Amino acid sequence: MPVSMEIDEAAIDEGLYSRQLYVLGHEAMKRMASSNVLIVGLRGLGVEIAKNIALAGVKSVTIFDPEPVTVQDLSSQFFLRIEDIGKSRAEATLPRLAELNSYVPIHNLGGVPGQQVTVDLVKGFQAVVLCGVPYEKQLEINDWTHQNGVHFIAAETRGLFGAVFNDFGPKFTCVDPTGEQPLTGMIVSVEQDSEGLVTCLDETRHGLEDGNYVTFTEVQGMTELNGCEPRKVTVKGPYTFTIGDTSNLGNYKSGGIFTQVKMPKSIEFKSLRESLITPEFFVTDFGKFDRPATLHAGFQALSRFRSQNNRLPRPRNADDAAAVVSLAKAIDADVDEKIVAELAYQATGDLSPMIAVIGGFVAQEVLKACSAKFHPMVQHLYFDSLESLPATLPTEEDCQPIGSRYDGQIAVFGQKFQEKIANHRQFLVGSGAIGCEMLKNWSMIGLASGLRGIIHITDLDTIEKSNLNRQFLFRAKDLGKFKAEVAAAAVSEMNPDLVGKILANQEPVGPDTEGVYDEAFFDGIDGVTNALDNVKARLYMDQRCVFYKKPLLESGTLGTKGNTQVVIPHLTESYGSSQDPPEKETPSCTVKSFPNAINHTIE
Q: Known catalytic residues?
A: 589
DSSP of 385-410: -GGGS-SSPPPTGGGS--SSTTHHHH
Determine the Cα–Cα distance for residues 96 and 99; give it in Å rounded to an integer. Answer: 5
DSSP state of 226: B
DSSP state of 248: T
Determine the Cα–Cα distance for residues 554 and 534; give it in Å rounded to an integer. Answer: 12
Alpha carbon separation from 253 to 185, 190, 218, 337 (Å, rounded): 17, 9, 11, 65
- Spatial CB neighbours of 182, under 8 Å, sequence gap ≥ 6: 259, 260, 261, 262
- Spatial CB neighbours of 548, under 8 Å, sequence gap ≥ 6: 519, 522, 523
Determine the Cα–Cα distance for residues 491 and 457; give it in Å rounded to an integer. Answer: 12
Determine the Cα–Cα distance for residues 266 and 270; give it in Å rounded to an integer. Answer: 13
Number of residues that make up the chain: 603
Decide: helix, strand or coil at residue 44. Answer: helix
Evaluated on CA atoms 71, 72, 74, 77, the torsion sign reads negative
Q: Are 412 and 160 in contact (CB under 8 A)?
A: yes
Please choose, from the candidates 101, 106, 8, 16, the residue with its C-alpha nearest in 3D space to the C-alpha of residue 60. Answer: 106
Determine the Cα–Cα distance for residues 251 and 221; give it in Å rounded to an integer. Answer: 5
Amino acid at 567: V
